């Protein structure tokens, strides 16, 4: 028997209602905030991610699925969405000439990680990006949008962490102080952090190794080095969140693991997820469009892991959707009438089904229960003769005999 590779999952119908509960909430939030959908390629030239995420990030250096095509060009399955959206934004001039763009996306991402709970090699995300404004209102808006998705899906035991990691101007002095602090403790660092010390100093704060986290506890704080502009930006974001009753906690060590962030960084975390406790995260990246040879375009965005959110609601009761009606018949001419009714319901926008080979009422009723039909519509010989049907409410068990015209009126009410 051929099996799926490690780190990928099949999502069968018994889980899809819960899955759709998450994605439908996201789409609703995106609609309410006036974000428009963009579909980005599953694979890109490797340079997109090397340039966008940074050569020294774990994603680029360790976790990408990269291969050569027949022309010898290096391609990579997308490990995240932002770099692809930025590439698309720069490449498609009709959008990057607009003063403001608000996009969202959904789909699979790929990382060559050791599979574990909440970390797969093929995983799914939804995300959003705003291009064209430095205003901290948009930092607030993407956070508020994710907060509303979290509440709509029923996730309650979460915490929003925020930070400002400043900009290149105010970060220069901070990084010098940070390097001095860690150089004095270099022998206590893990192998990866010793490599980061001079190449990507800020990412020392993102290490998950416990011994490095202990060292981090005494490190200088970026918030003590923010210039007036970055400090004001951060204060305005916090005021927006407070005014709109979105609880948060400031974490001065929250830097995220990607090179493109400046100023705002944030994470939605839940302890139930264990060590990898973030289920959504993002921040501001005002210089990334320029890294892709576009004009200066400030931007902010986030992404959320659908599988991780799935874990947080797997114990919650999610009402199954089911179908509107299952049409039951006795075969022969009643099957023709059942098919006619099924077609009429579908044309009216109602979900309906039947079993063309149904031999017994009992078997067809079982099929209706399995398909979670709200109603059963029964066509027997008497109903066929009188141009009527029997309509049974599956929840209450009440059934009535009505004409076919009355049926359509009732089902569309």
CATH number at residue 330: 3.40.50.800
Same domain, 262 and 386: no
Query: Considering its fold, how many domains does the chain have in total?
Result: 2
Q: Report residue 79's pLDDT band, with 50, 70 and 90 as the boundaries.
A: very high
The pLDDT score that the predictor gives to residue 75 is 95
Same domain, 40 and 137: yes
Same domain, 367 and 250: no
Are 188 and 137 a contacting pair, CB within 8 Å?
A: no
Dihedral through CA 102, CA 107, CA 110, CA 111, nearest 10?
60
Decide if pLDDT at 207 tops 80.
no
Based on its alpha-carbon atoms, the radius of gyration of the chain, rounded to whole angstroms, reads 27
Same domain, 289 and 397: no
Same domain, 331 and 375: yes
Same domain, 247 and 137: yes
Task: Tell me the whole-structure pTM to 2 decimals.
Answer: 0.86
Same domain, 294 and 342: no
Same domain, 56 and 136: yes
Q: Report residue 257's pLDDT band, with 50, 70 and 90 as the boundaries.
A: low
Instruction: Round to whole Å and give the CA distance between 297 and 196.
Output: 29
Residue 180 lies in a domain: no
In the 8-state DSSP scheme, what is residue 275?
Answer: T
Higher pLDDT, 379 or 55: 379
Residues of the chain with pLDDT > 90, as a percent, come to: 61
Decide if pLDDT at 15 tops 90.
no
CATH number at residue 25: 3.30.930.10
């Amino acid at each position: 028997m051929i099996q799926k590779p490690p780190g990928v999952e099949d999502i069968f119908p018994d889980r899809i209602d819960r899955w759709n509960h998450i994605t439908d909430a996201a789409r609703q939030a995106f609609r309410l905030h006036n974000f428009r959908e963009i579909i980005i390629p599953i694979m890109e030239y490797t340079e997109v991610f090397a340039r966008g995420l940074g050569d020294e990030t774990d994603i680029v250096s360790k976790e990408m699925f990269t291969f050569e095509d027949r022309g010898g060009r290096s391609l990579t399955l997308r490990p995240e969405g932002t770099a692809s959206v930025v590439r698309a934004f720069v490449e498609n001039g009709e959008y990057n000439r607009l003063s403001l763009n608000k996009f969202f996306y959904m789909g699979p991402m790929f990382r060559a990680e050791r599979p574990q709970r909440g970390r797969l090699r093929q995983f799914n995300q939804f995300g959003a990006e705003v291009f064209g404004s430095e205003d901290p209102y948009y930092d607030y808006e993407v956070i508020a949008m994710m907060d509303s998705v979290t509440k709509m899906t029923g996730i309650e035991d979460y915490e929003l962490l925020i930070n400002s990691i400043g900009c290149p101007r105010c970060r220069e002095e901070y990084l010098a102080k940070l390097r001095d602090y860690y150089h004095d403790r270099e022998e206590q660092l893990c192998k990866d952090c010793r490599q980061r010390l001079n190449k990507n100093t800020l990412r020392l704060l993102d290490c998950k190794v416990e011994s490095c986290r202990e060292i981090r506890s005494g490190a200088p704080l970026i918030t003590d080095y923010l210039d007036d502009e970055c400090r004001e930006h951060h204060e305005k974001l916090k005021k927006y969140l407070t005014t709109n009753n979105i609880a948060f906690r400031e974490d001065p060590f929250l830097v995220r693991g990607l090179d493109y962030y400046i100023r705002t960084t944030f994470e939605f975390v839940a302890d139930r997820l264990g060590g990898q406790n973030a289920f959504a995260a993002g921040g501001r990246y005002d210089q990334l469009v320029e890294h892709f040879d576009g004009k200066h375009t400030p931007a902010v965005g986030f992404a959320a892991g659908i599988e991780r959110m799935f874990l947080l609601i797997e114990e919650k009761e999610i009402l199954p959707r089911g179908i509107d009606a299952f049409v039951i018949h006795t075969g022969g001419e009643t099957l023709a009438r059942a098919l006619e009714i099924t077609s009429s319901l579908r044309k009216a926008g109602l979900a309906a089904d039947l079993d063309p080979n149904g031999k017994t009422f009992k078997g067809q009723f079982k099929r209706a229960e399995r398909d979670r039909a709200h109603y059963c519509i029964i066509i027997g010989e008497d109903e066929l003769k009188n141009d009527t049907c029997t309509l049974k409410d599956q929840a209450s068990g009440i059934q009535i005999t009505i004409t076919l015209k009355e049926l359509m009126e009732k089902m569309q009410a």
